[in-house]
Amino acid sequence: MLLPNVAEPFVAPADRDMLPSERRAFVLTHRTSVFGYRRRHDGPAMSVVHYVPTDGDELLVSTTAGRAKASAVTRNPRVSLCVLDERWPFAYVQVYAEATVDHDRALAVDLLAAVAGRISGQPVSDDARPFLEAMAAQEDRVVLRCRPYATFAPSHRHPGEETAGAAPEVPGNVAWDAPDPG
């Protein structure tokens, strides 16, 4: 099930490292990311996409079957999403995921509606569904199901910084489902 949009996304702490639970909250309450995947030649490809989280810990991305993203996922399922905060001070969480291409047309339409609702801030009316169904068919829309396995968040600690009594340090890379430290 697609998770609904939230009015106020999680605000990353500016004075300490994000805990694993806060990284997940950040990802689940934002909407914009840079989708990265391996190319056959040159460096990684990146494109800005809106994504929608599910209640099953997936991040869904809409694309067309003929786009490079879908082809790349078929070749190599390892992708990354750099989830961006749209407010200052700018924060981000990098998500590493295993992706698959899902050709379920009804899901593709549901995802188009969810993305449109996230962009506009308003749910898409049922009147728009036939238009979205026609668009999904015409564009051969598919869904990239991204299953996170790890995250990276930048540290706000500085070398030599006094940490006595401070929140626990969280290493840069942690498992998606890691518990908060102690």
Q: How far apart are CA 102 and CA 92, in angstroms?
A: 27
Q: Map out the domains of the chain with their CATH numbers.
A: 20-103+142-153 (2.30.110.10)
More confident residue, 38 or 166: 38
* More confident call, 72 vs 154: 72
Tokens of residue 54, six digits: 């599910």
Supply 14's token pair.
């500016």
Query: d(Cα 43, Cα 94) in Å, to the nearest integer?
Result: 18
Terminal-to-terminal C-alpha distance of the chain: 32
Residue 35 pairs in a beta bridge with 47, 81
Can you tell me the mean pLDDT for 28-35? 94
| pTM for the structure as a whole | 0.90
pLDDT-based confidence at 17, cuts 50/70/90? confident
Position 37, amino acid: Y
> For residue 121, what pLDDT band results from cuts at 50, 70 and 90?
confident
Give pLDDT, residue 88. 78
